Chain A
Amino acid sequence: MSKRIGKQTIQFDSPPSIIATASTVGPKEGKGPLASYFDVVLQDPLWGENSWEKAESKIVKKTIERVIQKANLTPEDINYIFAGDLLNQLTASTFGIRGFNIPFFGLFGACSTMSESMSLGAMAIDGGFADYIVAEASSHFCSSEKQFRFPLELGTQRPLTASWTVTGSGAVVLAKNGSGPYITHVTTGKIVDLGIKDPMNMGAAMAPAAADTIVAHFKDTGRTPKDYDLIITGDLGSVGKELALELVRKSNYDIENIFSDCGIEIFDPVTQDTHAGGSGCGCSAVTFAGYLYKEMQNNKWNRILFIPTGALMSPGSTQQGESIPGIAHAVAIDNKWA
């Protein structure tokens, strides 16, 4: 019988399988270190559409179509889509998913949306409410700069702590029956706010939430860093990663040797000038769907803790002087389950 363990974790008795993944990325991601792992690399960030927002919706639509196909299913087989993005009122997801006729839960977790969607999808399947679900998340550099920051043609400088929003969508199909990799545990994050107000240093804003969820996961499950081959956050970037490592150390867990971050993996900071690293819902989504999933199938890692991180703010909230709270949701993924 699946159960809640500890304060924030669910342990599944019949862990759902991730039976297929799909990823679509923009040109810059296609020039990064993980380029060969993505299904589709766009040459045109508009993908022939006439606005960034429409382009993002097209990316969402095509990626979900592809993942359903790769799972050897049709849209009629999918019970729910759990998906989200960064745009106001989730319009990128809405207009991308509009035509599918599949019951849809739209989610906002900022850049933590991929693990939020995977968590809820896994819970729906394990609870007996679905056989197949699609979990997806997307972001687009241009549409998010337009909404959160500055027009593209404005001559400004980005500080070294700033990150680069990934253009891309990553999707997975979760199934009740399959041969893994399995989602065995879900640790749902709490909002954690240590008072960071600088929207140009998101890594610092989110690191406390990442550390909090990692420690909660260990405490709830009784596991230690030795039990994992890889613990990988969503987009803490180089600055946030250092901070999270320190914070986790304060709770007496040392994860340094197995700790990485999707924002750090996806871009080369030297040749691509991405400062602290990649960010956005798409960052963790495409890194998981492409790189992490494929290398788990190659047994490079057998058990990972995938923990996308989100900065919960709006342009208005920072203008009002509010700090930037963070949240991080962890999903434990295992090639086998006992």
Chain B
Amino acid sequence: MDYIKAFIVGGIICAIGQILIDRTKLMSGRILVLFVTLGAALHGMGLYEPIVKFAGAGATVPLPGFGYALAKGAIEEVEKVGLRGAFMGGLKATAAGITAAIVFAYLSALIFNPKAKE
């Protein structure tokens, strides 16, 4: 059951992204920025947490989930230490993901080369 919910919600979020790609002149980079900011904003308004509870990975794997994680981290840190938590919490919560990306990307660059497209 988890899996069906994750599949559907994740799929819908991606389909929305596809509509933006096909129907607007927005490049993929701008769409990613839009989604991550939306995820953070929605969590700020308390609207993303219910989606996460419902769909699990279907909400956390797509990029709004990254925004959600950043915002959640900021809020939790603010509750712990006050205003300066806003500056401390975001990256703290997402450190693992970002660090993994940096480390694996670097290792990848050591090993792999770009291939021409056919």
Contact = CB atoms under 8 A, between A and B. Distances in A.
In the complex, A touching B (Cβ < 8 A): yes
Given A27-B118, A153-B114, 16 more contacts: A26-B116, A27-B116, A28-B118, A45-B116, A46-B116, A141-B116, A141-B117, A142-B114, A142-B116, A151-B114, A152-B114, A152-B116, A153-B115, A156-B28, A157-B21, A198-B25
Interface of B: 21, 25, 28, 114-118
Contacts of B116: 26-27, 45-46, 141-142, 152
Contacts of B117: 141, 152
A28 to B, nearest CB: 6
Q: Chain A: interface residue count, which band?
A: 10 to 19
A211 to B, nearest CB: 24
Contacts of A157: 21
5 contacts: A27-B116, A141-B116, A152-B115, A153-B114, A153-B115
Nearest to B115: A152
A253 B92 CA distance: 67
A263 to B, nearest CB: 17
B117 to A, nearest CB: 6
A277 to B, nearest CB: 16
Nearest to B116: A45
Nearest to A149: B27
A141 B118 CA distance: 10
Interface string A32-54: 00000000000001100000000
A205 to B, nearest CB: 14
A142 B118 CA distance: 11
Contacts of B28: 156
Most chain A CB atoms below 10 A, which of B25, B114, B116, B118: B116
Nearest to A164: B117
A219 to B, nearest CB: 36
A35 to B, nearest CB: 14
Q: Which of B21, B25, B117 has the most CB of A within 10 A?
A: B117
A59 B37 CA distance: 45
Interface in A133-165: 141-142, 151-153, 156-157
A142 B117 CA distance: 8
Contacts of A26: 116
B25 to A, nearest CB: 6
Interface in A43-69: 45-46
